[in-house]
Amino acid sequence: MRLWSIILAAGRGERIGGPKALLTLGGESFLARAARVLARPGIERVVAVLGHEAERVAREANLPPGVAVVVNAGYGEGMLTSIQAGLAAAEAAGAEGVLIHPVDHPLVDAATADRVIAALQGGATIAVPSHDDRRGHPAGFARAAWPALRAAAAGRGARAVLADHPDWIVHVEGGADCLQGVNTPEDYRRLLERRGG
């Protein structure tokens, strides 16, 4: 099964003062870290979907070699537009499934991604890691789910697909890493304190 990883990194990061893709942890940008972790066995291509300050992010994130960049000019209309831009690139290249991951969840573990990949390869239409009965990231979507992603209302996004098609979802084990997002300066400060910068 031809799988791609799509990292959503187009937002303004208004609450945190700039693109979250360029925040760092352990000397590595959030975007570079996600690209490295999501380049798993079974993943054919990693794509970063950029938008706000796309040129700066591409220049400063220190992406690993081979990561493709897609620029979403409509990023201001919401995250769903970035999902759709990533899907368009994946579909054009013949991918059969994608892992979708927001850049502001920097702690995701490779083992979590591997379980999502295995579920897709095993026939899941949607695969989602869960921890403490909460859904996390990255979520995997086989090609059969893409029309529903494209048709989702902008205000609901991918969550709408999960809510409307619970029978499509295979839940896989995820650690606390799959839930931990960074949305505010306080979130980022706590992350740095826990992980030693």
Which residues are bridge partners to 98 per DSSP? 4, 141
Please name the residue that has the structure tokens 């994946």.
Answer: 90
* Percentage of the residues of the chain whose pLDDT score is greater than 70: 99
In the prediction, which pLDDT does 157 show? 82
Q: What is the mean pLDDT of residues 150-173?
A: 91
- The DSSP element (H or E) to which 113 belongs, if any, is helix 110-121
197: in domain: no
Q: How many CA atoms lie within 13 A of 160 on its CB side?
A: 14
> Is 192 domain-assigned?
no
- Banded model confidence at residue 167, pLDDT cuts 50, 70, 90: very high
- pLDDT score of 68 more than 70: yes
CATH number, domain with residue 32: 3.90.550.10
pLDDT average, residue stretch 84-103: 97
56, part of any domain: yes
Q: What are phi and psi of 178, to 5 degrees?
A: -75, -10
Q: Is the pLDDT of residue 177 over 80?
A: yes
Query: Does residue 148 belong to any structural domain of this protein?
Result: yes
C-alpha to C-alpha distances, 84 to 49, 79, 108, 121, 193, nearest whole angstrom: 10, 9, 22, 22, 35
Taking Cα atoms as reference points, which of 22, 27, 24 lies closest to residue 50? 22
Full residue range of the structural domain in which residue 30 is found: 3-180
Would 79 be classed as within a structural domain?
yes
For tokens 């869960």, name the residue: 130
Instruction: Report the domain count for the chain.
Output: 1
Distance from C-alpha of 119 to C-alpha of 104, rounded to nearest angstrom: 24
- Cβ atoms of 102 and 8 closer than 8 Å: yes
DSSP state of 159: H
On average, the pLDDT of the chain sits at 94
Residue 102 lies inside a defined structural domain of this protein: yes
Asked if the structure places residue 167 within a domain, the reply is yes
Q: Please state the pTM of the whole predicted model.
A: 0.96
Residue 160 domain-assigned? yes
